[in-house]
Amino acid sequence: MNLDLDRHIRRESFKRYALQCGLAGFVVLVLLLILDAVTQTVLIAALGASAFIAFAVPRSLHSDPRHMIGGYVIGMLAGCLMAALESAMNVQGAGAAHAVMVIFGAMAISLAMFTMVVTRTEHPPAAALALGLVLNEWDLLTLAVVMAGIVALSLAKRLVLPMLLDLM
């Protein structure tokens, strides 16, 4: 079996790769220890994908605060709007209610994606957040915790940015 490994990994850069990936894991660990106690993991799981973007490609346009925080704001707005519309329909019957929830979940992703592209705040994990807000129960505390998480992730990346390399 032939493993297709990144050709750029050398002995000296391997340490750098391991450091950055470990740092991303540490930041997510701290966020989860703080945030997981008060909200659902499915809604903050998007932070794991955001941590990958922030620490694997730290100089990417999509890992700057405008995209990370702006994308999450848009994801939240799209998800909240579609969740409210879905709830307002008050569909009876488990099968029909499930189908309506799925439709509004897909619409939340579409709306978030469209708005992020138009406002130049593209951040793919934020579309997952929009979907999560339609498919899961949440409250204002959940929104505050998720927003605090993405802001903290952005700040953590900014603090260590001088020592980070783009790994992809």
Q: For residue 35, count other CB atoms closer than 10 A to its CB.
A: 22
- Which residue is it, tokens 């702006």? 70
For residue 47, pLDDT over 70 is answered with yes
Cα 163 to Cα 168: distance, rounded to the nearest angstrom: 16
Q: Report the predicted TM-score, pTM, of the whole model to 2 decimal places.
A: 0.86
Residue 121, φ and ψ in degrees, nearest 5: -125, 35
pLDDT digits (tens, 9 = 90+) for 104-141: 999 999 999 999 999 999 999 999 999 999 998 888 98
The mean pLDDT value of the chain amounts to 87
Please name the residue ranges forming H helices in the chain: 11-35, 41-44, 46-56, 65-89, 94-119, 124-135, 140-160
Find the helix packing angle between 140-160 and 46-56, rounded to 10°.
10
Q: Per-residue confidence at 65, pLDDT binned at 50, 70, 90?
A: very high
Cα 154 to Cα 84: distance, rounded to the nearest angstrom: 29
Cα 5 to Cα 81: distance, rounded to the nearest angstrom: 43
Which two three-digit tokens encode residue 133?
């807000």
